[in-house]
Structure 1
Amino acid sequence: MQRVVRSTIIDAPIERVWAVLRDFNSHDQWHAVVETSRIEGGERSDQVGCVRSFTLRDGNRIREQLLTLSDTEHRSTYCIVEATVPLQRYVATVTLKPVTDGNRTFWHWESTFATPPGQERELREMVARDVYEAGFENLRQHLRQGGDLRTPGQAGPMPSALALPTRRVVVDRHGNPEVLRLEDAEAPAPREGEVRIHQRAVGVNFIDVYLRRGWVPAPLPLVPGMEAAGSVLDVGAQVAGLLPGDRVAYLGPVPGAYCGVRCVPAGWVVRLPAAIEDETAAALLLKGITADYLLRDLGQVRRGTRLLVHAAAGGVGLLLCAWARRLGATVLGTVSSEEKARVAREHGCEHVIVTRDYRFADAVQRLCGGVDVLVDGLGDAARDENLAALARRGHWISLGQASGPLAALAPDALVAKSLSFSRPVVFDYVATPAQLAERAQRVWDALGDGSIRLPPIERHSLESAARAHERLESRATLGALVLLP
């Protein structure tokens, strides 16, 4: 499926813009591409289910049906039911939002559709350029002719920054999930080197829990979240290679992703291949890149490596199991239930140890004589068992602290078996845009060739962020969690 997304600012009040767009039969009055238009069967042009039949100036004919219309949300959805243009399964949504700075209107227009093979780019560009971008300018001309479009001379100087309304999840004090609260906010215009993104999916990770609890230092109040996926709304000065409408995902060291619209440095951003959906990107980017550097850089996992993965049915765990198995490793994993054991096995975990009391070392020694690499997201409760489960010259990678912060390790705890220990941070492995792009592409390639499988995705609304954190901390989840703004 193809996806086209375009957004703009109209310098007129939302009520005036909506008055034009809610009329399903108004295109021949303001859009230059439309020659004639009529509503079939004598129905009202704002009646959900009505069909408009129109002729384009190039001779093509299209019939579209109004699927939804909301005056409270200033949103309509419609689909093509018949057309001489080869747009298949075309569904489009128009959304307006008020811009409080100057009483302007934010207009978001997006669609998904299929095309005949070989015509993907041609038709995608036709919709983006000739329908959406031309439509934005045509409506401006229409409102200008009617005296409804303000100009800088009429309304004073145009502000240099156009803030957009959004919602975000805020932490004012450290504590349990109930400290997460939703609030209305504004996303400022992008500054130099920044990209403003309309987010459709936000990844939920354990680092968000650590921030909420205060286990990772960060000033309050804070908005959690380190990654998201969506579309570029606009870009600041000195940004190259990213354009409005581009589908993107990002990963960055500064929290703030639990929101609907956000500005981030362009260096955090990667463009998404057409085959990677927004939810997939939000579920995989941070976790997939983490799996990449753990296996490739730190673990140097290859055929014959004995690998133990804690929380093997979690978002990172499932990726590690599948990818390491493809590399020829012997993969062991710990999980907390038989259901999770089943899922871990399906994703390549050869030996699954079910335990809720952090006891696993005896089973590991019995199965393989100790592991060469151990990936630990459990923290202090697994400390002694980890040491016992490692083989000589084994490497312990401390990735997280779900059971509580890991106390300092004395050198003598490692020297007994010549063990090594590391505490990596993913952002140091994607410190440049080139490194981020390279690792992200390896993740998408691994998904494409079957080295990894898309883990189960548990979806929550932005309002339900607290519930998502409860689920994550309770060890009740399988795979990845995402928030849908």
Structure 2
Amino acid sequence: MIRVTRSAIIDAPIERVWAILRDFNSHTAWHPVVAESVIENDEPADQVGCVRNFTLKDGNHIREQLLALSDNDYVSTYCILDATLPMQRYVATVQLKRVTDGDRTFWHWQSTFDTPRGREQEFADLVGKGVYEGGFEGLRAFLRRRPGAPAVRTAGSETMATQGMVVSRFGGPDVLEARPLEARFPAPGEVRVRHSAIGVNYIDVYIRKGEYRMIEPPAPIGMEAAGVVVDVGDGVTHLLPGDRVAYACAPPGAYVGVRTLPASQVVVLPDEIDDETAAAVMLKGMTAEYLLHRTHRLRGGETVLVHAAAGGVGLLLCQWAKALGARVIGTVSTDDKARVARAAGCAATIVGRDYRFAAALHDATGGRGADVIYDGLGQAAARENLEALAMCGHWICYGHASGPFDRLPVESLGQKSATFSSPVLFHYTAERAALTEMAQRTFEALRQGTIRLDIRHRYPLSAAAQAHRELESRSTVGPLILLP
């Protein structure tokens, strides 16, 4: 990752300089390398989210999006969406400060981006000298040609218009409806994030049905997403506008284009993890992390049974458990999913849709049973789970895809001196330090190849109902994501 920073003093009042720079399409008037530029869709040039589409005088083409604009702080942040130049993940911030001596303006311009290996210095010079230093001189020349001070436009509404998928009433997938929403300016301790990818999880189904009463309709659902910080509230020190971030937290509300939420639940993404991967791994990856390292500290040589082994959490559990030295057996609904589960580390798979697996599990373990059962199924699998447990085994139920338990047979657990746990991710991530540790361990597992993601199911945000139908039909393999 390259970081380029330049600063300059402009001999003009800050109000005058800001009136020019806050116009996201003004660079054709003052920057010497810009040939022509338009704001797409005729949006206002100071509207956060607008896109400028421009051509450089050398023929290169760039599209940039305005991520944040603060008239109070004289700050704007933008990113490159696509370009003919080989620059990736370019995010830049312009900040002005008042120089009282002579009523001048201090202009700070910085960016981070990636380039092909071996060309780092070339592009650092291109941006630092050609874009930033050239821009400083271009604006000075423009101000000399245009001595009159333009009026400063007043700041717009602090809310941002966005689109979201809202649960209109509790029920099936069809209750998910597209509606216009607003993302308010962040209060102290909050952050506003523009989503680029949103994770779909079975907990979203529970909430949509009303089994988990975490919303009151009409309201958006969704627990995880990745994107870019637009702006932050007072007191937020670990995030800056332009940061690539992700989160997995309550309350629901991720099925939107832009969201305001507590900054304490948001983590900065490593450069090597893209937004789609982050949106697919935050909730499921940290779930696998706490199941394997906290609820039950898995030991090498233990036999584990993973239900829905070809699902989003199941695939991560299989890979990670095998890496920890466990023997993994998975249940799946089809032969195709069995092949996927075996490729993820299952030593054996049990195929079926009738929730009957205990006999096959005992056959695969020589009659001993499973030391640990990772259960996201719930009620329909309860009796078979008890039968499948080894003596002194640990049954961990982290989801209820088939429905909640009618009654937990405690006396049956006692017959095997077995342990039952019903953990919740958000209890483990309530403290910032624990959240950071869990996220970093998940990211490190991705970096090392301990876990891998194959994102086969992508849907427009507006097709959230279709994503839910396919998830509930058990026809999907691995994670599902929505794209705003």
Establish whether TM, by shorter chain, passes 0.5. yes
Question: Which residue in the other structure is 2:323 paired with?
Answer: 326
1:42-441 → structure 2 map (5 Å cutoff):
45=36, 70-71=41-42, 75-77=51-53, 92-95=62-65, 108-111=78-81, 112-113=87-88, 114-115=114-115, 117=117, 149-151=151-153, 162-221=158-217, 222-368=219-365, 369-441=368-440
Counterpart-to-counterpart distance in 2, 1:248 and 1:124: 24
Change in 2 beyond 3 A, CA 1:452/1:410: same
Native 8 Å contact 1:315 1:455 kept in 2? no
Question: Which residue in the other structure is 2:457 paired with?
Answer: 458
Counterpart-to-counterpart distance in 2, 1:325 and 1:446: 13
Counterpart-to-counterpart distance in 2, 1:219 and 1:350: 41
- CA-to-partner distance for each residue in 1:117-139, whole Å, 9 max, x for gaps? 47769957985999589979x99
Letter of the 1:326 partner, please give it: A
Change in 2 beyond 3 A, CA 1:235/1:367: same
Query: Shift of residue 457 of structure 1?
Result: 3.8
Question: Which residue in the other structure is 1:53 paired with?
Answer: none
Q: SS where residue 300 of structure 1 aligns?
A: coil
Letter of the 2:210 partner, please give it: G
Change in 2 beyond 3 A, CA 1:331/1:194: same
Identical aligned residues as a percent: 48
Q: TM-score scaled to structure 2, two decimals? A: 0.78
Change in 2 beyond 3 A, CA 1:363/1:82: farther
Q: SS where residue 333 of structure 1 aligns?
A: strand
Query: Shift of residue 344 of structure 1?
Result: 0.7
Query: Shift of residue 3 of structure 1?
Result: 11
Query: Shift of residue 150 of structure 1?
Result: 3.2
Counterpart-to-counterpart distance in 2, 1:121 and 1:434: 37
- CA-to-partner distance for each residue in 1:308-351, whole Å, 9 max, x for gaps? 00000001000000010011101000000111111111111111
Native 8 Å contact 1:168 1:258 kept in 2? yes
Change in 2 beyond 3 A, CA 1:451/1:96: closer
Change in 2 beyond 3 A, CA 1:116/1:219: closer
Letter of the 1:277 partner, please give it: D
- CA-to-partner distance for each residue in 1:198-257, whole Å, 9 max, x for gaps? 110111111110000011012312211111101111110000021111111112121111
Q: SS where residue 341 of structure 1 aligns?
A: helix
Counterpart-to-counterpart distance in 2, 1:240 and 1:98: 17
- Aligned residue pairs total 426
Native 8 Å contact 2:67 2:242 kept in 1? no
Change in 2 beyond 3 A, CA 1:203/1:128: farther
Name segments (4+ residues, structure 1) moved above 3 Å: 1-4, 68-83, 95-99, 106-109, 116-136, 144-151
Q: SS where residue 308 of structure 1 aligns?
A: strand
Q: SS where residue 383 of structure 1 aligns?
A: helix
- CA-to-partner distance for each residue in 1:268-295, whole Å, 9 max, x for gaps? 0111010000000000011111101101
Mean Cα deviation higher: 433-442 or 73-82 = 73-82
Query: Shift of residue 423 of structure 1?
Result: 0.6
Counterpart-to-counterpart distance in 2, 1:441 and 1:396: 27
Letter of the 1:191 partner, please give it: A
Native 8 Å contact 1:97 1:165 kept in 2? no
Question: Which residue in the other structure is 2:30 paired with?
Answer: 30
Query: Shift of residue 456 of structure 1?
Result: 3.0
Q: SS where residue 427 of structure 1 aligns?
A: helix
Native 8 Å contact 2:330 2:348 kept in 1? yes
Counterpart-to-counterpart distance in 2, 1:363 and 1:175: 36
Counterpart-to-counterpart distance in 2, 1:228 and 1:427: 15
Counterpart-to-counterpart distance in 1, 2:258 and 2:130: 26
Give the CA RMSD over aligned residues.
3.8
Query: Shift of residue 109 of structure 1?
Result: 3.4
Q: SS where residue 281 of structure 1 aligns?
A: helix
Native 8 Å contact 1:319 1:455 kept in 2? no
Native 8 Å contact 1:195 1:263 kept in 2? yes
Query: Shift of residue 115 of structure 1?
Result: 2.3
Native 8 Å contact 1:223 1:258 kept in 2? yes
Change in 2 beyond 3 A, CA 1:120/1:273: farther
Counterpart-to-counterpart distance in 1, 2:215 and 2:363: 46
Query: Shift of residue 451 of structure 1?
Result: 1.2
Counterpart-to-counterpart distance in 1, 2:121 and 2:158: 31
Query: Shift of residue 299 of structure 1?
Result: 2.2
Query: Is there any run of 5+ residues in structure 2 with no aligned partner, and where?
Result: 5-16, 44-48, 70-75, 82-86, 89-113
Mean Cα deviation higher: 342-351 or 69-78 = 69-78
Mean Cα deviation higher: 463-472 or 114-123 = 114-123
Counterpart-to-counterpart distance in 1, 2:3 and 2:220: 29
Query: Is there any run of 5+ residues in structure 1 with no aligned partner, and where?
Result: 5-9, 39-44, 47-65, 84-89, 100-105
Letter of the 1:429 partner, please give it: Y
Change in 2 beyond 3 A, CA 1:180/1:121: farther
Native 8 Å contact 2:34 2:54 kept in 1? no
Q: TM-score scaled to structure 1, two decimals? A: 0.78
Counterpart-to-counterpart distance in 1, 2:392 and 2:174: 43
Counterpart-to-counterpart distance in 2, 1:354 and 1:288: 24
Change in 2 beyond 3 A, CA 1:288/1:82: farther
